[in-house]
Amino acid sequence: MALSISRRLVRSFGPSGRWRRVGSASVANGSLHCPHELLGLFPQESFSTADFSRSVRDGAFFFGCRRLSTSILTPNGGADFPSDLLSKKKVIAPDREIGMNGMCFTLSLYILTGLYQDLVIPVTNFLGEDKGMMVLAGDVFDVPIRKDIVHRVVRWQLAKRQQGTHSTKTISEVSGTGRKPWRQKGTGRARHGSRRGPQFRGGATMHGPKPRSHAIKLNKKVRRLGLKIALSARAGEGKLLVFDDMEIPTHKTKNIVNYVEQMENTKKVLLVDGGPINEKLKLATQNLHYANVLPSIGLNVYSILLHDTLVMSRDAVNRIVDRMHTPINR
């Protein structure tokens, strides 16, 4: 419909050879005819093309068109802009309650703006002593849980750790003679040219595996997000414990057994220390299948998922947070 109306307007100006369009005015037969909006900016009578070109060169024409524009706003130009076109809708909604299955959840403003809430967790040790409190960064230990990200990271880990040393021999690598087993015709047997073929015992393997890398590509930010999600999941379940340090009195295994028995609903525990693993702790846990030790640099998503309880030292938490806040090198 708009196209048909514009064509009617074009036809109303006459044949296309008699006029041409310049800005918001039409020039026909060497004289300028301005629309009704520009009548107040120029004299009422028509003037020649030379006069119009001179006004364009001086900038008077475009200055007049700018006065008519509503797309240029100035700090003190509120009266010039129609007030009825300004939106009065609030950009940020206040806090509100959302009902879901009989429960009320408060949608806070920090969720809308993409911020996270820090967590405060008590600090203890193997003996169960109170060692104060520690604040966990919300952007590391309180991110939304996404199973698809965890699945991608675990798949990347398992594929990357494959050795890929599998190898089979082709027909050129199998040991054996290259002589033709028997003549081509006259024996009644099938024709063959080599004893090293895949159809013979001890022969080659066709299309078999060769040494290769099974690693797949995964962006660094996705890997980092997967570790954050795993840590947040353990913190949300109450299965994240923070110890002041990982010091134990002796290297006896029975000490670790007693410590794990004191933990509630713990079947498999992962101990994470900041720096190199203490030798006593390493000796005390190496004979237990349900207790494993890792340095903070080796903490990964798959190891967290294999253990239902995660125990971290203060130093390990600080190092993990620093690692998560370090910009990604591209």
3-state SS, residue 330: coil
Looking at every residue in the chain, the average pLDDT score rounds to: 77
pLDDT tens by residue, 173-187: 999 998 999 999 999
Residue in this structure with the two tokens 């100006």, named with its chain if needed: 13
Distance (Å) of CA 102 to CA 95, 98, 99, 111, 223: 19, 10, 6, 22, 36
Distance (Å) of CA 183 to CA 146, 189, 200, 304: 67, 9, 17, 65
pLDDT at 192: 94
pLDDT bucket at 84, cuts 50 / 70 / 90: low
pLDDT bucket at 17, cuts 50 / 70 / 90: very low
> Considering only CA atoms, which of 297, 323, 293 is closest in space to residue 307?
293
pLDDT tens by residue, 241-299: 999 999 998 999 999 999 999 888 899 999 999 989 999 999 999 999 999 999 999 99
pLDDT at 264: 85
Quote the CA–CA distance of 147 and 229 in Å, as a whole number.
9
Q: Which residues contact 105 (CB under 8 A, 6 or more apart)?
A: 97, 98
Are 230 and 304 in contact by the 8 Å Cβ rule? The answer is yes
- Which of residues 219 and 58 earns the better pLDDT score? 219
Per DSSP, the residues of 256-324 read HHHHHHHSTT-SSEEEEESSSPPHHHHHHHTT-TTEEEEEGGG--HHHHHH-SEEEEEHHHHHHHHHHH
Let me know how long the chain is.
330
Cβ neighbours, 10 Å, residue 131: 14
pLDDT bucket at 73, cuts 50 / 70 / 90: very low
pLDDT at 86: 45
pLDDT at 303: 96
What is the mean predicted confidence (pLDDT) over 293-311?
96
pTM for the whole structure: 0.62
- The two structure tokens encoding residue 229: 């999600």
Reply yes or no on whether the pLDDT at 156 is more than 50: yes
What is the mean predicted confidence (pLDDT) over 185-190?
95
pLDDT > 70 in the chain, percent: 65
- Which of residues 315 and 64 earns the better pLDDT score? 315
Quote the CA–CA distance of 67 and 59 in Å, as a whole number.
13
265: left (phi over 0), alpha (psi -120 to 50) or beta: left
Q: Hey, what amino acid is at 183?
A: R
pLDDT at 54: 57
Q: Hey, what amino acid is at 144?
A: P
- Which of residues 98 and 4 earns the better pLDDT score? 4
pLDDT tens by residue, 207-216: 999 999 999 9
Per DSSP, the residues of 193-242 read S-TTSTTSTT---TT---S--------HHHHHHHHHHHHHHHHHTT-EEE
